[in-house]
Chains A and B, each alone.
Chain A
């Protein structure tokens, strides 16, 4: 029922995403046919020349799709965010089935029929077009069916690079832990896959019937119309990819806080009278960073420690000023500007119950050490493992617990702490659940954790191209407190509010003119 309400409430958006999805799949499948069939013919004719293409397609098939997006992003022409790179990736995946079945289909043609064609005076091209391809067609159609069905599934991942499609709901739903939204995207894409599979199975069966003389050959006009439709879609794709209006492209990674921050930045830029293109919900740090460097987005919010360790590959460092300075220098060399921090850190939070904090006057992590001997702790798996996680924390503070800490899913530690199953937990500093469960975050008085200051990073070329951009971005510096961020995360995650609305209210409180 909630699912139906969701679709009803998002009808226009849902329709647009469905069309985008179909568009991605049809264009990429058409391109895979256009490339795969000739390559397959070549591979069947000249195994020595053709084998490498089959081999390459095989290897490409094993590359995880998100990694492939990352590799392709910085490349000219085929790279970049949006439909272009998604279509490229989808073509690569669709190529193997088409190529393989074409080779198998051509090889399965009775040599006597090829000889007959030749003896009757057909040129090699005529033998191919009039004898070999028609007879290989059922096999080729079977390959196209596999390619299209795989394409429907893979196209959901295209949302990670801002290409839209039904994956948009899946990714957004995952980021917001909203299973209704996940299903709103996953169910239609599964239905779509089944429908395409069924439709092409009928086509394949019909082709076989035609070939064995049990059905009529379809009207030539139908075939021409179908080919024309695909061609029009491909042309539209090229046109869409070519249009690059003069706008500021705002990106974000794929979790709630990032989407809210992306909205805040986008709305601020709009308030300065600039046109904005939102490319929110990109699939993680890797993709967002690649997109920024490739000029596919102009601005997004990064965390200083993440930039330092994950992007620049430095060992963890605890001095926040030193981290920010080295990030600023390295980004500067790459033509990127690191602006002043927004005012909050998204670091690990060592948490206790608010009532304990008040009763025992706990303010810092050092305050906990004397009590830890009677306490149980629960940590996320990651925190137990990481270089900047629990082992170092225990060493730095001389922390000794009653029992070895329990490993649990990060989303569960807040409730476990509130319900007194544990007494000490490590969570996310900006989680909305900290206030919701009346938990207290202890101060890292020995500065053990690396700094994760949220900071706007932007392309310097964009700042130069839009002189009003830098002042408006600077106006956000130091304006978002950790309490504010928690409230906004909570509003979206727990109260299921729209990130754009939450961002708009924030701007109103801040006195930024909303538009």
Chain B
């Protein structure tokens, strides 16, 4: 709907000096961030460092106290909040599929909200289920209760992509999965992203996931974005907060080395 790509040379999300306080406590403190089409920015930080709040500031659920948030070149304040959210694919923590709808209906929610015609919705739903590796013939008519955790996670991604949004926001999308499934689905996600080239902002507390999926990795600590750089540079970063987040990975690698 009037969407033409690349009006701001591919910058889809633009945050400038975003500050947010809740109950007098700063949650976000002067965050600057730009995300372009084709990029995956992975934000890492401990629990309570404002990661989820940052996503809510972007989709208009929270309003920053100062600073500006521009989506596709337009301030969030100028967007109709519902139009805005329908253009921001959202993968939620714990997936939150609607239990009373089939898998096909779950995937088709945003297209329905956008008033697409039913045949186009059906085609789109099938395409997306294929894309995330769930053959629609087998899965479209099932309900969330009948799926495994990994399959549900894939449906969550398909649901977020259904309205063909230029932007994808992901809140700890693969957090609840076992390591093997998680590895599989991460690979799948990279394949999809290489094809679709969305502007992706992914939030996680797991540095390993951030380094695997991010084209850039941002580190949030106490509401400040203390680093935002390519994965290899983050891995070599000297800031103590960053080192602390990297520590579990080094421990795991060391353990692997020792057992060999």
Tell me how far the C-beta of A205 lies from the nearest C-beta in chain B, rounded to whole angstroms: 15
Bitwise, A206-245 to B at CB < 8 A (1) or not (0) is: 0000111110000000000000000000000000000000
Tell me how far the C-beta of B118 lies from the nearest C-beta in chain A, rounded to whole angstroms: 13
Among A43-51, A115-123, A272-280, A338-346, the stretch that binds chain B is A115-123
- The docked-state distance in angstroms from the alpha carbon of A130 to that of B98 is 9
Bitwise, A108-143 to B at CB < 8 A (1) or not (0) is: 001011011111111100100011001100000000
Given known contacts A120-B90, A120-B110, A122-B82, A211 and B100 CB-to-CB distance under 8 angstroms: yes
Contact B98 A116 (CB under 8 A): yes
Tell me how far the C-beta of A135 lies from the nearest C-beta in chain B, rounded to whole angstroms: 6
**Chain A contacts for B102, CB-based, 8 A:** 213
Tell me how far the C-beta of B253 lies from the nearest C-beta in chain A, rounded to whole angstroms: 35
Among B138-146, B185-193, B198-206, B224-232, the stretch that binds chain A is B138-146
Contact A126 B113 (CB under 8 A): yes
Contact B143 A116 (CB under 8 A): no
Interface size class, chain B: 20 to 34
Contact A120 B109 (CB under 8 A): yes
Q: Which chain A residue has the least Cβ–Cβ distance from B156?
A: A116
B153 an interface residue at 8 Å Cβ cutoff? no
The residue that A213 contacts in the complex, of B83, B113, B144, with Cβ under 8 A, is B144
- Between B99, B110, B142, the greatest number of chain A beta carbons within 10 A of the residue's beta carbon is seen for B99
Contact B85 A118 (CB under 8 A): yes
The residue that A212 contacts in the complex, of B83, B96, B109, B143, with Cβ under 8 A, is B143
**Chain A contacts for B163, CB-based, 8 A:** 121
- The docked-state distance in angstroms from the alpha carbon of A211 to that of B98 is 9
Q: Which chain A residue has the least Cβ–Cβ distance from B87?
A: A121
Tell me how far the C-beta of A475 lies from the nearest C-beta in chain B, rounded to whole angstroms: 71
Contact B82 A123 (CB under 8 A): yes
Q: Which chain A residue has the least Cβ–Cβ distance from B110?
A: A120
Tell me how far the C-beta of B106 lies from the nearest C-beta in chain A, rounded to whole angstroms: 10
**Chain B contacts for A121, CB-based, 8 A:** 82-86, 88, 110, 113, 163
B63 an interface residue at 8 Å Cβ cutoff? no
Tell me how far the C-beta of B8 lies from the nearest C-beta in chain A, rounded to whole angstroms: 22
Contact B159 A120 (CB under 8 A): yes
Given known contacts A120-B86, A121-B86, A213-B146, A134 and B61 CB-to-CB distance under 8 angstroms: no
Bitwise, A259-275 to B at CB < 8 A (1) or not (0) is: 00000000000000000
Tell me how far the C-beta of B89 lies from the nearest C-beta in chain A, rounded to whole angstroms: 9
The residue that B96 contacts in the complex, of A112, A211, A213, with Cβ under 8 A, is A112
Contact B82 A119 (CB under 8 A): no
Q: Which chain A residue has the least Cβ–Cβ distance from B102?
A: A213
The residue that A134 contacts in the complex, of B100, B144, B145, with Cβ under 8 A, is B100
Contact B100 A210 (CB under 8 A): yes
Tell me how far the C-beta of A105 lies from the nearest C-beta in chain B, rounded to whole angstroms: 13
B127 an interface residue at 8 Å Cβ cutoff? no
- The docked-state distance in angstroms from the alpha carbon of A122 to that of B163 is 13
The residue that B61 contacts in the complex, of A113, A118, A212, A213, with Cβ under 8 A, is A118
- The docked-state distance in angstroms from the alpha carbon of A126 to that of B94 is 22
Q: Which chain B residue has the least Cβ–Cβ distance from A126?
A: B113
**Chain B contacts for A117, CB-based, 8 A:** 98
Contact A119 B143 (CB under 8 A): no
- Between B85, B96, B100, the greatest number of chain A beta carbons within 10 A of the residue's beta carbon is seen for B100
Within 8 A of B (CB), among A185-215: 210-214
Tell me how far the C-beta of A355 lies from the nearest C-beta in chain B, rounded to whole angstroms: 81
**Chain B contacts for A213, CB-based, 8 A:** 99-100, 102, 142-146
B125 an interface residue at 8 Å Cβ cutoff? no
Contact B96 A113 (CB under 8 A): yes
Bitwise, B35-69 to A at CB < 8 A (1) or not (0) is: 00000000000000000000000010100000000
B245 an interface residue at 8 Å Cβ cutoff? no
Q: Which chain A residue has the least Cβ–Cβ distance from B109?
A: A120
Interface size class, chain A: 20 to 34
Contact A112 B94 (CB under 8 A): yes
- The docked-state distance in angstroms from the alpha carbon of A222 to that of B104 is 23
B92 an interface residue at 8 Å Cβ cutoff? yes
Tell me how far the C-beta of B124 lies from the nearest C-beta in chain A, rounded to whole angstroms: 15
**Chain A contacts for B94, CB-based, 8 A:** 112
**Chain A contacts for B144, CB-based, 8 A:** 213
Tell me how far the C-beta of B76 lies from the nearest C-beta in chain A, rounded to whole angstroms: 14
Q: Which chain A residue has the least Cβ–Cβ distance from B159?
A: A120
Contact B83 A116 (CB under 8 A): no
Bitwise, B119-163 to A at CB < 8 A (1) or not (0) is: 000000000000000000000001111100000000000010001
- The docked-state distance in angstroms from the alpha carbon of A211 to that of B145 is 10
The residue that A119 contacts in the complex, of B92, B100, B145, with Cβ under 8 A, is B92
Contact B99 A112 (CB under 8 A): no
**Chain B contacts for A214, CB-based, 8 A:** 143
- The docked-state distance in angstroms from the alpha carbon of A125 to that of B163 is 20
Tell me how far the C-beta of B70 lies from the nearest C-beta in chain A, rounded to whole angstroms: 19
Tell me how far the C-beta of A108 lies from the nearest C-beta in chain B, rounded to whole angstroms: 12
Q: Which chain B residue has the least Cβ–Cβ distance from A112?
A: B96
Tell me how far the C-beta of B148 lies from the nearest C-beta in chain A, rounded to whole angstroms: 15
Contact A122 B113 (CB under 8 A): yes
Tell me how far the C-beta of B156 lies from the nearest C-beta in chain A, rounded to whole angstroms: 9
- The docked-state distance in angstroms from the alpha carbon of A212 to that of B102 is 10
The residue that A116 contacts in the complex, of B88, B96, B145, with Cβ under 8 A, is B96
- The docked-state distance in angstroms from the alpha carbon of A131 to that of B112 is 14
**Chain B contacts for A123, CB-based, 8 A:** 82
Contact B92 A115 (CB under 8 A): yes
Contact A112 B143 (CB under 8 A): no
**Chain B contacts for A131, CB-based, 8 A:** 98
Contact B59 A135 (CB under 8 A): no
Tell me how far the C-beta of B85 lies from the nearest C-beta in chain A, rounded to whole angstroms: 4
**Chain A contacts for B59, CB-based, 8 A:** 119
- The docked-state distance in angstroms from the alpha carbon of A119 to that of B168 is 12
Within 8 A of B (CB), among A356-381: none
Tell me how far the C-beta of A136 lies from the nearest C-beta in chain B, rounded to whole angstroms: 10
- The docked-state distance in angstroms from the alpha carbon of A151 to that of B83 is 46
Q: Which chain A residue has the least Cβ–Cβ distance from B112?
A: A130
- The docked-state distance in angstroms from the alpha carbon of A112 to that of B95 is 9
**Chain B contacts for A120, CB-based, 8 A:** 85-86, 90, 109-110, 113, 159
Q: Which chain A residue has the least Cβ–Cβ distance from B114?
A: A121
23 A-B contacts, Cβ less than 8 Å apart? A110-B96, A112-B92, A113-B96, A113-B99, A115-B92, A116-B92, A116-B98, A119-B90, A120-B85, A120-B159, A121-B82, A121-B85, A121-B88, A121-B110, A121-B113, A126-B113, A135-B100, A211-B99, A212-B145, A213-B142, A213-B143, A213-B145, A214-B143
Q: Which residues of B contact A (CB under 8 A)?
A: 59, 61, 82-86, 88, 90, 92-94, 96, 98-100, 102, 109-110, 113, 142-146, 159, 163
| Beyond A118-B85, A121-B83, 19 extra complex contacts between A and B, CB < 8 Å | A113-B98, A115-B96, A116-B90, A116-B92, A116-B98, A120-B85, A120-B159, A121-B85, A121-B163, A122-B82, A130-B98, A130-B109, A135-B99, A135-B100, A210-B100, A212-B143, A213-B142, A213-B143, A213-B144
Top 8 nearest A-B pairs by Cβ distance? A213-B143, A121-B86, A121-B85, A116-B96, A119-B90, A211-B100, A112-B96, A134-B100
